[in-house]
Structure 1
Amino acid sequence: MSRTAADGVRVTPARLADGREIVYFDEDGAPPRVPEPDRRDLPPLSTASELRFDPLLREWVVIASHRQGRTHMPAADACPLCPSTADRATEVPAGDYDVVVFENRFPSLAADGGRVLDDVGEVERSRRPGTGRCEVVVFGPDHNASFADLTPRRVRTVLEAWTRRTRALSALPGTEQVYCFENRGAEIGVTLPHPHGQIYALPFVTPRTRRILDSARAHRERTGRDLFADVLRAEQEAGLRVVARGEHWTAFVPAAARWPVEVHFYPHRPVPDLPALTDAERDGFGPLYLDVLRRLDRLFGLPLPYISAWHQAPVRTGRDLSRLRLEVFSVRRAPDRLKYLAGTESGMGVFVNDVAPETVARRLREAAP
């Protein structure tokens, strides 16, 4: 049954042939959707995902050997994210859609199914099923488009999908953190070129989030202030690295950027996650984000490969210390050169950036149309 959200987006859930959930997000003005049946004969979803704990770094590692056989860079006429046609059924049974979200057919994390895993000789026995959920978010039916080609209205619809799925996945038993992200470009490792992103419901708080929360806690104990508010204030007052600013959001290159191109988006009001944004803050995000994405593509005169990562507060811990923000970064450092993680980065986690953050910010400001 379709449900209409506050901003006019109509939400219609359905099921795929193997039982996976699919949710359509149709924009205002679209007629009520009657979900088309999935015509494919699919076997039940089966995964071999498991979690193992690294005793040296005190971090969880996901082992997902079943993903070796996932779809990799298919031809355009074999894309599984395009709308279905009379001659070919895809992951989206509909002949057209605005935004659609569905459970990944090759998930890194999934329901455990009651599996029992044997001991494999760990120092600290930790091996357990990789419980969680992985979803695909398709930004539109145009196979050759990118996020930067979307309209502000479509970005608002995508934001509604991220928000509603964050709420739904946060409510699942065992979810500790919800992570929404987009990978764009073959240089990043994208296996499907159709514009899309993913959402992970993680059964643990990620290592980076834990470390950032430790920093925020130490900053509050030392100064009595909010770390993220101080970072945003310092960037706004200096102005050296601010790329664009609106009524509700500021985009800036961080002073200690690790990547050759890196831009952070902070809402001006401290909120823990996407559901906490107001309608005005959600409306203000799209125009600013599209502006910066288009500047990124003009930076080297070709589509920029990037990862766009939403940082949201964990579901149960550190919510008073967290702040919603978006981080976009790229491995491209010149039109014909990529940054590879070399010995210091891969071996020791010490990043060396060949490009000054102030230079990147200035060039992005100059890239305005």
Structure 2
Amino acid sequence: MTEHVPDIGRPDEPAVSVLQAGVVRRRSRLADGRELFYFDDPDTTLPDHRAQDLRASGPRPPTATMRHDVLTGEWITFATARQNRAFMPPADQDPLAPQSATNPSEIPSRYDVAVFENKSPAFGPAAEAGAGAHAGDGDPLFRERPAAGRCEVVCFSPEHEGSFASLSPTRARTVIEAWADRTTALSQIPSVEQVFIFENRGAEIGVTLPHPHGQIYSYPFITPRTRSLMTALEREGPDLFERVIDAERRGPRVVLETEHWVSFVPYAARWPIELHLLPKRHVPDFALASAAERDDLAVAYLRILKAVDRLYGTPTPYIAAWHQAPVRKARDTVRLHLQLTSPRRSADKLKYLAGSEAAMNAWVADVSPEETARRLRAVID
């Protein structure tokens, strides 16, 4: 049976909206009912009309199931439909490129930036949690619940290869506007507790599509990492982020500082390359970042990413994780911030998570944070 998937947009919301920085958002749908949004650059050359998705539509996969680990308190999602997702297709079969006569891709029209519901999501398509957790197999130790929520794909460019670092400042600003718009919309889903924006870059990270894109996960719970952060804020004080930023700005690990943002290698960096980027004032998520902060970020973020690639002269694999405050908790204390991490510890060596890190979450670092910051400052433009 096909699940009912509610439209999270407002019924009175226009099909075309002008956002900040002159970005235009156009609402559409794919053949199977999934929502699709085009975000046009302010200087776009695209026509107003967008083609319809005329592919034959099959049923969407059922919503995944989450199981509760009673020993850790964590929820583990079992999204078995993802086993069959695309894996390194050739350029002429790129599922994130605009559709053509020979490529029945996910996006029916030419675009600048496009966002659509993931065909094989970890969370959703059902957006409501239903009756909540219940005992799987009748045993109270084995609780499970639907993985309600939503997962979206953010296509940075129609090009087959690249990453956020390959974008122009104008296009980067369009993507940031899309992040803010989708954070606002996804935060309105009743079952969603946290919205997470990220980009995986490089085959070493496990990327299965070379197309420049990122993802948005809307979790029906607050993630373990954020819960740990909230505990630290309760222990150290609600102004913890402000104090950390002030202390790092006086130290040797700052890589870049602009009018609204500061980037540094953290004092206790775990990875060979690890960079944090934070707004100077308290901002809980992209939706509440000002236009000036978004404009400044488009340039600052590109400078950071290009510096990371200059360390070794070739593209560096990374995970760019944008941590946002939960939707309904800790909004006054958890600050929006980027945590960019890479396992690359030299030109031809990677750090693998072995026994201590993988089993015990007890990290042993290979490179000092001060050395990483020094090297990044030397190559940032």
Q: Note whether the superposition's TM-score is higher than 0.5.
A: yes
Aligned match of 2:330: 318
Which of the numbers 277, 280, 284 marks the counterpart of 1:272? 284
In structure 2, how many angstroms separate the alpha carbons of the residues matched to 1:62 and 1:288? 35
- Cα-to-partner distance string for 1:198-233 (whole Å, 9 max, x where unaligned): 00111000011011011011111xxxx511111111
TM-fit CA distance, 1:361: 0.4
Give the CA deviation at 1:87.
3.0
Following the alignment from structure 1 to structure 2, what is the Cα–Cα distance between the partners of residues 312 and 206?
11
Letter in 1 for 2:300: L
Q: Quick one: which amino acid aligns to residue 364 of structure 2?
A: V
- Give the superposition deviation at 1:77: 1.3
Q: 1:123 to 1:11 in 2, by over 3 A?
A: same
Aligned equivalent of 1:209: 226
The TM-score normalised by the length of structure 1 is 0.95
DSSP-derived class of the 2:22 partner: coil
Distance (whole Å) between structure 1 residues aligned to residue 92 and residue 335 of structure 2? 41
Quote the Cα distance in structure 2 between the aligned partners of 1:72 and 1:53: 30
CA contact (8 A) 2:23 2:40 kept: yes
For the 8 Å contact 2:183–2:195, the answer to whether it is kept is yes
Specify whether residues 315 and 83 from structure 1 end up closer, same or farther in structure 2 by C-alpha distance, changes over 3 A only: same
Measured in 2, the distance between the counterparts of 1:49 and 1:81 equals 23
Tell me how far 1:118 sits from its aligned partner. Answer: 7.4
Note the C-alpha offset of 1:301: 1.5
1:106 is the counterpart of 2:123? no
Matched ranges for 1:220-259 at <5 A:
220=237, 226-238=239-251, 240-259=252-271
Q: Are the equivalent residues in 1 in contact too, given 2:127–2:191 (CA < 8 A)?
A: no
Asked if structure 2 preserves the Cα contact closer than 8 Å seen for 1:134 and 1:200, the reply is yes
Contact 1:132 1:174 in 2 (8 A): yes
2:3 counterpart residue number: none
Select which of 314, 317, 321 maps to 1:309. 321
Q: How many Å separate the matches in 1 of 2:67 and 2:136?
A: 11
When structure 1 is superposed on structure 2, of 117-126 and 356-365 the one drifting more is 117-126
Give CA-to-partner distance per residue, 1:106-156, whole Å, 9 cap, x none: 101113499998723655342111111000000011112221111111111
For residues 165 and 69 of structure 2, the distance between their equivalents in structure 1, rounded to whole angstroms, comes to: 38
The one-letter code matched in structure 1 to 2:194 is Q
Cα-Cα RMSD? 1.7
Aligned partner of residue 142 in structure 1, secondary structure? coil
Paired residue type of 2:248 = E
Partner amino acid, structure 1, of 2:66: L
TM (normalized to structure 2)? 0.92
- Alpha-carbon separation, structure 2, partners of 1:98 and 1:281: 22
* Pair 1:3 & 2:21 matched: no
Residue aligning to 1:287: 299
Alignment of 1:193-204 (within 5 A): 193-204=210-221
> Which residue identity lines up with residue 16 of structure 1 in the other structure?
L
What residue ranges of structure 2 are gaps of 5+ in the alignment? 1-14
Residue 41 of structure 2 is matched in structure 1 by: 27
Alpha-carbon offset, residue 83 of structure 1: 1.2
Which residue of structure 1 aligns with residue 11 of structure 2? none
Q: Distance in 1 between matches of 2:359 and 2:116?
A: 36
Give the 3 Å change call, closer, same or farther, for CA 87–364 of structure 1 in structure 2.
same
Q: List runs of 5+ in structure 1 lacking aligned partners.
A: none
CA distance in 2 between partners of 1:336 and 1:47 (Å): 42
Tell whether 2:29 aligns with 1:50: no
User: What is the Cα deviation at residue 35 of structure 1?
Assistant: 2.5
Aligned pairs, how many?
A: 363
Rounded to whole Å, the distance in 1 between the matches of 2:356 and 2:16 is 52
Aligned to 2:7: none
Match of 1:126 in 2: 143
CA offset at residue 172 of structure 1? 0.9
State the AA in 2 paired with 1:210: R
2: distance between equivalents of 1:349 and 1:167? 33
| 2-structure distance, mates of 1:66, 1:152 | 36
Tell me the CA shift for residue 173 of structure 1.
1.6
Which residue of structure 2 lines up, in the alignment, with residue 218 of structure 1? 235
Structure 1 residues 113 and 259, CA, compared in 2 at 3 Å: closer, same or farther? closer
Distance in 2 between the 1:29 and 1:66 partners? 39
Give the whole-Å Cα distance in 2 for the aligned partners of 1:337 and 1:353: 14
1:327-366 correspondence runs (5 A): 327-366=339-378
Instruction: Give the residue type in structure 1 aligned to 2:67.
Output: R
Match of 2:106 among 86, 91, 115: 91
Runs of 4+ that moved beyond 6 A: 113-118
Partner of 1:161: 178
CA distance in structure 2 between the partners assigned to 1:63 and 1:146 by the alignment = 28
Q: Could you tell me how far apart the structure 2 residues matched to 1:344 and 1:286 are?
A: 37
Q: Is the 8 A contact 1:185 1:305 kept in 2?
A: yes
Q: Which amino acid aligns with 1:187?
A: E
Alpha-carbon shift at residue 368 of structure 1 (Å): 2.6
